[in-house]
């Protein structure tokens, strides 16, 4: 009997991280007694008669049936290998297996067909309890994260996670439960309980949130959607004795219950250094109709376009915008407003130091827009090309934006006119470093322009770290 296994398929490994397809090298030279069988496998249709999974412990078999069913539809040997690789990737995506290996063999037994194949997935389940320790980069802040995870709690890829995070501006801990829909991993439900304590020195404010949330994620055509309900008890206080009276007025307790919806379309080839594709994200939040004492409608969007130019350079354009409309005649809360400025948005200005302020404390605004034009190029003379040097880019930028409060008794034309007044803008150049595919560091020389009274600027070198950049 002929057997196709990992060692005979060096160009096409069926275990490990990657799978390459080289049809000319699929088989070793056959033994004489195997020749007729190998010709059938290579040149004629085959039938996958059995798919077996070995090594299961607490994982339910019905969950895996959705992930491997396409293997039965393969028509020839190469198709079997491709579909087996896809099934392997889908099994690993579930997060319940540490290793998945694939064995393809000719069928045996009384019911074996001359062109029949058996496919076996040999799996190794992850431990019942795992721990993690790592560091995390947020928007101009860093944190240490400790976590405990119980994967595959009930045998169908559920996950229970406890996480503690201690950072430069924020400390949090929370418990979350994740449940995917069998056969459609992108459709999933997440339940959270958390406590977050944050410091916001630009507003002389500290905030403690204790809340619960339920989040449903699902794809729809080319779009991805997130539906979320959140109930949070918020405690606001002054970070310093010198806090302004406007911030002291905001101190105290409030209860927010909000429904939100996020729509996103992302065709970029990378989240950090995209060279092509576009991103569109629209977020809507409605608070007050499900309880609580915060009532508002909040809309914001993000648009990014990327185009590759000559010599591996990339031109990128970004546009952000948002509006918050209080409901019921009560003023908006400082914790719900938008903030603008800093190394992750309008560079050359202090962190969140654009817009309304009182005695040096920045109060945020109810409407904003920000735009950016960027040119990314490889480092001069391409040091470290093909290796460490590819993590760096040279960066030229032009940013602009504005943040203000609107009088909702006026019409849209008056709103646009106010947003077009007192535009802050900046230009400059610098170096960008990619951290994996989730965050990046920037070191820029900035020239701020359009500075208004009360704005805090950073004229010269500015450092930024984060996961979301204008």
Per mean pLDDT, which range of 197-206, 288-297, 328-337, 407-416 is the poorest?
Answer: 407-416
Task: Give the contacts of 114 (CB within 8 A, at least 6 positions apart).
Answer: 40
The chain-wide mean pLDDT, for the chain, equals 86
270-276: average pLDDT:
90
Query: Would you place residue 62 in the very low, low, confident or very high pLDDT band (cuts 50, 70, 90)?
Result: confident
Contact between 116 and 106 under an 8 Å Cβ cutoff? The reply is yes
Worst-scoring range by mean pLDDT, 134-138, 242-246, 265-269, 297-301?
Answer: 134-138
Instruction: State what percent of residues in the chain have pLDDT above 70.
Output: 89
Q: Give the closest residue to 5 by CA, choosing from 26, 30, 23.
A: 26
**225 pLDDT more than 90:** yes
Amino acid 354: pLDDT = 92
Model confidence at 385, pLDDT cuts 50, 70, 90, reads confident
Residues 36-50: tens digit of each pLDDT? 555 554 557 888 888
Q: Which domains does the chain have, with CATH numbers?
A: 47-125 (3.10.20.310), 181-466 (2.40.160.50)
pLDDT (tens digit per residue) in 112-146: 888 888 899 999 999 999 888 887 776 667 788 89
Q: Which residue has the higher pLDDT, 204 or 436?
A: 204
Q: Quick: pLDDT tens for 326-354.
A: 998 888 999 999 999 999 899 999 999 99
* CA gap 281, 304 in Å, rounded: 9
- What confidence score (pLDDT) does residue 140 get? 67
Q: Using DSSP bridges, classify how beta strands 3-4 and 130-138 pair: parallel, antiparallel or unpaired.
A: unpaired
21 has pLDDT over 90: no
61-68 helix and 77-93 helix, angle to the nearest 10 degrees: 130
User: What's the confidence (pLDDT) of residue 368?
Assistant: 94
Is residue 219 a contact partner of residue 226, using CB atoms and an 8 Å limit? no
Per the CB < 8 A criterion, the answer to whether 428 and 397 are in contact is: yes
Query: In this predicted structure, which of 188-192, 257-261, 376-380 has the lowest mean pLDDT?
Result: 376-380
């Amino acid at each position: 009997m002929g057997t196709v296994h990992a060692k005979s398929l060096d160009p096409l490994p069926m275990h490990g991280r990657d799978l390459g397809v080289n049809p000319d090298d699929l088989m070793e030279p056959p033994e004489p007694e195997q020749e007729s069988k190998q010709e059938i496998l290579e040149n004629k249709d085959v039938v996958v008669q059995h798919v077996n999974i070995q090594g299961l412990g607490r994982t339910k078999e019905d969950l895996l049936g959705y992930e491997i069913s396409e293997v039965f539809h393969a028509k020839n040997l190469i198709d079997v290998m491709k579909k087996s690789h896809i099934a392997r990737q889908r099994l690993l995506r579930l997060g319940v297996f540490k290793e998945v290996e694939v064995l393809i063999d000719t069928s045996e037994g009384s019911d074996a067909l001359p062109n029949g194949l058996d496919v076996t997935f040999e799996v190794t389940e992850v431990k019942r309890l795992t721990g993690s320790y790592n560091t995390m980069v947020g928007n101009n802040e860093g944190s240490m994260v400790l976590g405990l995870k119980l994967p595959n709690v009930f045998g169908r890829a559920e996950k229970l996670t406890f996480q503690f995070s201690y950072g430069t501006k924020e400390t949090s801990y929370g418990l979350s439960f994740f449940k995917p829909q069998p056969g459609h991993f992108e459709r999933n439900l997440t339940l959270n309980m958390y406590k977050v304590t944050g410091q916001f020195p630009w507003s002389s404010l500290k905030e403690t949130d204790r809340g619960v949330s339920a989040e449903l994620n699902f794809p729809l055509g080319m779009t991805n959607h997130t539906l979320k309900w959140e109930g949070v008890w918020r405690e606001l206080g002054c970070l310093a004795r010198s806090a302004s009276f406007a911030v002291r007025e905001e101190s105290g307790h409030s209860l927010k219950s909000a429904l939100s919806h996020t729509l996103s379309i992302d065709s970029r080839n990378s989240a950090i250094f995209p060279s092509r594709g576009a991103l569109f994200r629209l977020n809507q939040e409605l608070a007050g109709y499900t309880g609580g004492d915060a009532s508002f409608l909040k809309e914001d969007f993000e648009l990014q376009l990327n185009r590759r130019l000559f010599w591996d350079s990339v031109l990128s354009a970004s546009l952000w915008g948002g509006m918050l409309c209080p409901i019921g005649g009560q003023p908006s809360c400082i914790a719900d407003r938008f903030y603008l400025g800093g190394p992750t948005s309008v560079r050359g200005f202090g962190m969140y130091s654009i817009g309304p302020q009182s005695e040096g404390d920045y109060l945020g605004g109810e409407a904003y827009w920000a735009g950016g034009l960027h040119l990314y190029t490889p480092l001069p003379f391409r040091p470290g090309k093909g290796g460490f040097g590819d993590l760096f880019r040279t960066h030229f930028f032009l940013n602009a934006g504005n943040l203000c409060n609107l009088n909702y008794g006026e019409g849209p034309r008056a709103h646009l006119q106010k947003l077009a007044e007192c535009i802050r803008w900046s230009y400059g150049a610098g170096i960008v470093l990619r951290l994996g595919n989730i965050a990046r560091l920037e070191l820029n020389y900035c020239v701020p322009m359009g500075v208004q009274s009360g704005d805090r600027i950073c004229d010269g070198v500015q450092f930024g770290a984060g996961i979301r950049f204008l």
